[in-house]
Amino acid sequence: MYELFKDLGSWLTSGDQWSGYDGIAHRLAEHLQYSLLATLIAMAIGLPLGLLIGHTGRGAFVAINLASFGRALPTVGLVVLVFLASGLSMWPVYIALVALAVPSIVTNTYAGMTAVDPDVKDAARGQGMRWHQVLFQVELPLALPLIMTGLRLALIQVVATATIAAYVSFGGLGRYVFDGLAQRDLVQVMGGAVLVAVVAIALDLALSGVQRFLFRHRPA
Amino acid sequence: MALPMNRRALLGGLFAAAAVPALAACSGGITSLDEGSGSSGGGSGSSAGGLTIGTANFTENQVLGYLYAAVLDAAGVQTKVRPNLGSREILIPAMKSGDIDLLPEYQGALLHYVAPKATATEEGEMQNALTIALPAGLQVLPYGMAEDSDAFVVTRETATKYGLTSLADLKKQNGKLIIGAAAEVKTREVGVVGLKEVYGVEFKEFKSLDSSGPLVKGALKKGDVDVANLFTTDTDILDNGWVVLTDPENLIPGQHIVPLIADRKADSTVRKALAELGNVLTTTDLTELNRKVDKDKKDPEDVANAYAKEKGLTK
Amino acid sequence: MTIDWSWIGDHTDDLTTLTVSHLQAALSAVFFGLLISLPLAVVAHRVRPLRGFLLGLSNVLFTIPSIAIFVLLLPVSGLTRTTTVIGLTVYTLVVLLRNTVEGLDSVPVKTKEAAKAMGTRPFRTLLTVELPLALPVIMAGVRIATVMSISLVSVATYIGDGGLGQLFTDGFQRDFPTPVIAGVVLTLLLAVVADALLVAVQYVLTPWTRRRA
């Protein structure tokens, strides 16, 4: 057992392991690329959707249950299905990751919007603001903390799941888990797992810090 | 403010309902609700308690697994097939620990896995070498007629472009070509390691794909890889006009199908049934069975049963 | 990409077996998750210093990719259903722990003090006051854990188990969408039905949260 951890330590710190095509630096970069791009795409889809549902109040059923649906979707199945439809490309990876992140973003954006005091919205309308002014100048700023939490959670989820890229021959940290399985190289598997966890946690802490700073003047 | 009786009963009932399947999962690691195999008592092998056939994560191995099951069932041995378990690196430890009892293997590949520096090349020699090299508790039964070897394959265009006919020719392109294969090939003697040692070949990059499956073949077609590790029974090689690089130094040993079995299950009934199968199944037959599963989308189990019946191995 | 309906017709037996196997794995994981998380949550709730540690540890565990956990368990319990259930339980445990602690936190202090004033011992308070009041949040956790578990079972196909997940690797190897589609649909159906059932259970168990007519 101790041997395993010692080997893991050397694997994570050896210069060899960091350089080259299969090196940690490259795989890490790939993993971050998949995660960030997928989250950005999910934001582009989920934010407007969440804002709209939150502002108009219509489609609330969708917003609330989308998260459940997203959670139920088997990523392996989705990746394979898109792969069979589109062949060897990044589509399966991005579609699966976006499908995972969108529900979380929509639900949290919607939650943020519904948390806005209706009296404040009334007051804004009473002052003669049009719907887009109410949305962007009143609701959005007030909903921002919860929206940002939703984005943060989505990113973390995506980082943890981007290992699926390895299912269909691509890179990222999932490569270490998959190759380690095939080669029965447990140190490699552990290395991959530890790296994913570290990246996810680091991003989580960093973004929470940013959130705390941005909203430091708001009442708790 | 206690929960009234009926709600407590409901809660308890739910808990119990969930507990039943949970406890079932606990008892001896059953993989489904079907009966698993038990290992039989001591002495020299007995298949009385039934046996579990494991198969690797590619089509042909599953066809073989179901063929074994078909002939063993006909001989009165209770079998259970566990398809798609993974690479040899996963399967051999599973055999050692008793999770599976029987595995369709490939003579030369197995030998080089348990004894990387083995030099035997002739089938009889390899069989002896295997008997010596295999860990205690495992043995190989006589090898069958059918054979499926590893092949390193390039497209016709690549072969013409770089003048490639044999594995030795790859050395001239050191550092330029990308090879695609299942991840485990990177660390195997019959793989990247051996190619370097025997032919001095170095690749620009190794792409972890799969065992003669959609990933590696797709990559070869698309040009994402220059060299692909496929299996000789894969009909796509012929269908696409791909070139199999020759092996003058005999890095790739002959790979007859050979059953790998746990000692405790190897009784005369099992031996007889599998030997009969080995003497009937030809490479051509096997290739055809693979094609039925991959291209015609038939179930490996159905294809195996039909074949066994047709050849008179089962009723 | 088309569905071969005749394949589905021919394979209803297999699909049923896989669905049952799939459900059994998911439910076992939720069961064991509850079994372990309940006492742990009580400890985390009552013992201040341990709380941060337990919740932090579970957050870390949650970020480990599920495929990695399954693979790392192989030397422990081999290619068996046990490995799958242990792996899944790690995740259900995390979700249930978080929710149970949150649920216990949500019990009004005044209510607990009232019970104490009446002479109720701490354990009985837990059983008859705190847990029932925490039930809505705990049930929300059970719902999340169950749905998540049903989705995660298919990852175990890479270690030879996986319930409906086996349809995915099969379809992948043979370039055959039908089993994959069947697997995705059945998984989603299982999740929807399980979720709906749990909503019904929650409704029955917590009458005081129902809206007054």
Q: What is the pLDDT of residues B206-238, one digit of tens each?
A: 999 988 889 999 999 999 999 999 999 998 998
Using alpha carbons, list the distances in angstroms from residue C11 to B45, C15, C178, C186: 36, 6, 11, 13
Q: Is residue C209 part of a domain?
A: no
Residue B24 has pLDDT above 70, yes or no: no
CB contact under 8 A, C78 and B294: no
pLDDT value at residue B20: 59
Q: How far apart are the first and last CA of chain B?
A: 69
Using alpha carbons, list the distances in angstroms from residue B268 to A82, B263, C42: 48, 12, 59
Phi, psi of B252 (to 5 degrees): -90, 115
How open is the CA angle C62-B209-A98, to the nearest 5 degrees? 45
Q: Find the helix packing angle between A186-214 and C66-77, rounded to 10°.
A: 140
Q: Is residue C86 part of a domain?
A: yes
Residue A27 has pLDDT above 80, yes or no: yes
> At C191, which CATH number?
1.10.3720.10
Residue B246 has pLDDT above 70, yes or no: yes
* Residues 77 through 96 of chain A touching chain B, CB cutoff 8 Å: 83, 87-88
Phi, psi of B254 (to 5 degrees): -60, 145
Tokens of C109: 């202090």
Continuous segment of H or E residues that includes residue C193: helix C177-205
pLDDT value at residue B10: 60
Q: Is residue C213 part of a domain?
A: no
Which residues are CB-neighbours of C36 under 8 A, at least 6 positions away? Answer: C89, C93
Q: Is residue C211 part of a domain?
A: no
Q: What is the pLDDT of residues B80-124, one digit of tens each?
A: 999 999 999 999 999 999 999 999 999 988 998 998 888 888 889
Tokens of B302: 């159905």
Locate the chain A residue with the closest alpha carbon to B218: A88
Q: Any chain C CB within 8 A of the CB of B31?
A: yes
pTM: 0.88
Instruction: State the best of A88, A90, A177, A187 to mutate against chain B, taking most chain B CBs within 10 Å.
Output: A88
* Residues 104 through 133 of chain A touching chain C, CB cutoff 8 Å: none
Nearest-angstrom CA–CA distance, C3 and C181 = 8
Distance of CA B226 to the CA centre of its chain: 25
Nearest-angstrom CA–CA distance, C170 and C213 = 52
- Its sign, for the CA torsion B305, B307, B309, B311, is negative
Residue B29 has pLDDT above 70, yes or no: no
pLDDT value at residue A12: 87
Which residues are CB-neighbours of A80 under 8 A, at least 6 positions away? Answer: A92, A167, A168, C168, C169, C171, C172, C180
CB contact under 8 A, C187 and A180: no
Nearest-angstrom CA–CA distance, A147 and B154 = 52
Mean pLDDT along residues B22-49: 48
Residue A177 has pLDDT above 90, yes or no: yes
Q: Find the helix packing angle between B88-97 and C66-77, rounded to 10°.
A: 40
Residue B153 three-state SS: strand
Mean pLDDT along residues A61-78: 86
CA distance, residue A153 to nearest chain B CA (Å): 31
Locate the chain A residue with the closest alpha carbon to C178: A81
Contacts of B85 in chain C (CB under 8 A): 79, 159-160
Residue B38 has pLDDT above 80, yes or no: no
The interface predicted TM-score (ipTM) is 0.88
pLDDT value at residue B287: 93
Task: Tell which wins on pLDDT, A43 or C117.
Answer: A43
- Of A63-77, A179-193, B192-206, the least confident: A63-77
Using alpha carbons, list the distances in angstroms from residue B256 to B7, B108, B147: 64, 7, 4
Contacts of A160 in chain C (CB under 8 A): 62-65
Which residues are CB-neighbours of B15 under 8 A, at least 6 positions away? Answer: C31
Half-sphere exposure (CA, 13 Å, Cβ side) for A198? Answer: 10
CB contact under 8 A, B297 and C85: no
Could you give the number of structural domains in chain C? 1
CA distance, residue B45 to nearest chain C CA (Å): 23
Domain with C97 in it: 5-204
Locate the chain B residue with the closest alpha carbon to A175: B208
Which chains does chain B touch, 3 or more C-beta pairs < 8 A? A, C
Residue B147 three-state SS: strand
The answer to whether residues B145 and B278 touch, using CB atoms and an 8 Å cutoff, is yes
Mean pLDDT along residues B21-44: 42
Locate the chain B residue with the closest alpha carbon to A167: B209
Q: Is residue C212 part of a domain?
A: no
Mean pLDDT per segment of 10 residues, for chain C of length 213 residues? Answer: 88 95 96 94 89 91 93 90 96 94 88 83 81 88 95 94 93 93 96 93 80 52
Task: Tell me the one-letter amino acid at B234.
Answer: D
| pLDDT class of B41 with cuts at 50, 70, 90 | very low
Locate the chain C residue with the closest alpha carbon to A181: C71
Which residues are CB-neighbours of C2 under 8 A, at least 6 positions away? Answer: C177
CB contact under 8 A, C157 and B54: no
Contacts of C192 in chain A (CB under 8 A): 72
Complete domains list, chain A, with CATH? 2-214 (1.10.3720.10)
Q: Is residue C68 part of a domain?
A: yes
Residue A198 has pLDDT above 50, yes or no: yes
Residue B21 has pLDDT above 80, yes or no: no
Residue A40 has pLDDT above 60, yes or no: yes
Task: Tell me the one-letter amino acid at B18.
Answer: A
Locate the chain C residue with the closest alpha carbon to A87: C175
Mean pLDDT along residues B276-280: 94
Distance of CA B11 to the CA centre of its chain: 47
Percent of chain A with pLDDT over 90: 42
Task: Tell me the one-letter amino acid at C191.
Answer: A
Instruction: State the best of A80, A95, A183 to mutate against chain C, taking most chain C CBs within 10 Å.
Output: A80
